[in-house]
Structure 1
Amino acid sequence: MRIGIKPYLVIILICMYNKLNIVLISGLIAVRLSDLKVKQTAIISKVNRTVSDNVNQPDLVASRLETLGFVPGTQVQVITKGIFGGDPILIQIGFTRFALRKVEAARIEIQEVVQGAAV
C-alpha cells in the first residue's frame, strides 16, 4: 500500500514548525542565535537555562556563556557558519569572536528588529 503526501501539506507543516520557533513581540522577533543568518546583527534578550533532573545543580554551560559576555542587551553578529550543517557558528561580540556549537547558540535568545517596524 502506498501513502501519498500532498506537497501543500508539507509546506503547511514547515510553516507551522517555523511559527513555533519565532515569537512576535511588539515589532520585535525573539529568535535563537542559532537561527540568525550570516552578517545579521541582533541584541541578546536572555540565556536559557535547561531544566535538569537536579534542580539545585547550576547550569554550567549557561553560566559560562554569561561569563564570556553573552548577557542581555549585548549586540551580537553572526560572522559565518560551518560548511556542513552550519556547525560551528562564528559569532562576534564587540571585538571578540567566539565559535559556538548550534546547541550552545540555541540557548541564547535574541531580538532582531523587523525592518519597517517602529521601536
Structure 2
Amino acid sequence: MMTVANLKKGQKAIIGEMTSQDIPLKLLEMGCLPGNHVELIQIAPFRDPLYLNINDTYLSIRKETAKLINVELIEDE
C-alpha cells in the first residue's frame, strides 16, 4: 500500500480510504479526506516534515503521520 510518505517531490496522488482514528482531527478539517488530491511540494532536510498541497491548502506534516495516509498515484496527464 502506498502512503503520502512514499511520494517523491512533485508526485500527485488521490487520498484513499482511512479511518478518522488514525488521522489527527486537524488534518481532516484542513481537507485531508478520501478522494482529495495531494501533491508533495518539498521534503525538509533529514526527510521530516513533508510540505504538501492538499486541494490548494498547503500544510506540513510529520513523516510519521504521512505513513497513515493511503494514496493512489495519479499518472502524468
In the superposition, the TM-score normalised over structure 1's length comes to: 0.56
Identity %: 28
Q: How does 1:33-72 map to 2 (within 5 A)?
A: 33-48=4-19, 59=21, 61-72=23-34
Q: How many residues align?
A: 76
The structure 1 segments of at least 4 consecutive aligned residues displaced by more than 3 Å after TM superposition are: 59-62
Aligned to 1:16: none
> Are the counterparts in 1 of residues 22 and 68 from structure 2 also a CA contact under 8 Å?
no
Question: As a proportion of its length, which structure holds more helix?
Answer: 1
Report Cα offsets for 1:60-92 as digits up to 9, x if no partner: 8433321221111100100000111x1000000
Give, in whole Å, the separation in 2 of the partners of 1:93 and 1:70.
7
> Are the counterparts in 1 of residues 30 and 57 from structure 2 also a CA contact under 8 Å?
no
Structure 1's unaligned 5+ residue stretches are 1-21, 23-30, 50-58
Aligned to 2:69: 108
Q: Secondary structure at the match of 2:40?
A: strand
Taking a change above 3 Å as real, the CA distance of residues 109 and 60 of structure 1, as seen in their structure-2 partners, is closer
Based on CA coordinates, which of the two structures has the bigger radius of gyration? 1
Query: 1:76 pairs with 13, 38, 43, which one?
Result: 38
Aligned residue identity for 2:63: K
RCO comparison, higher one (Cα < 8 Å, 6+): 2
Q: CA RMSD in A?
A: 2.0
